[in-house]
Structure 1
Amino acid sequence: MSLAAGHPVPGYDRIGSAALVHTAQAVAAEALHVPYRQTRARVAGDGHGALAVDVTAPLAVPVLGSHAVPAEPVVATAHRARGVIAERLRSITGRQVAVVDVTFSSSVVDTPRRVR
């Protein structure tokens, strides 16, 4: 007996903790414009069914000596990134994100990437 498309099939759907962490890490790296390998994320439940995310990443700064002014202050960068991280994780995983903490641990030069 087969079930028609659109009908629920008994079972469980789970997203493992490693998948949540790697997804949060990738989303944070993208939101902060820093390398994935230099970004760390921890994900835990907030005790009310939502996720709490803790991100540690470098701060992207313009090339020194270029006299370029960052597009926004560091606090604004963190605030914007927290919103982007929460929304992207919600849209990818379907889980609500209650808290996103961002810690800048170092800095990395934000060099323009060449188009191939």
Structure 2
Amino acid sequence: KPSVLAIEDDQPLCWLIERILSEDFDVTIKREGISAMEWLLEGNIPSIILCDFVLPKIDGLEFLENLTKSGAFNKVPVIMFSSVLDENFPKKCIDAGASAFLEKPFDPPALIKTINEVLEKNKISAR
């Protein structure tokens, strides 16, 4: 199964993401960017990363920028998501290296569809 690292600080949304994805993916949830980066540095390389923009300590865009500068992780596709209603924000995320952007709240089929589309582009897919 492809693996997903989800970085989200909202506990109910963490639960929802795990429920939606656990049938088709191995899901790891981290509540903020620094613990996610530590997890990656331990040698874990997921198939894809889902990252919220609003996070404690470092925001999702800063996490994404650090990831794209890293030689080891810059090939891991990232889907950014946020409820921030700035019309320029999705473009900012894509320009910073995100593969896709989803607005929160997202519906489960849209999340799975977007993950599979991004993984397909990277030649990894669930089912």
TM-score clears 0.5 = no
Name the one with the larger helix percent: 2
Name the one with the larger strand percent: 1
| Larger-Rg structure | 1
Normalised by the length of structure 2, the TM-score is: 0.24
More contact order relative to length (CA 8 Å, sep ≥ 6): 1
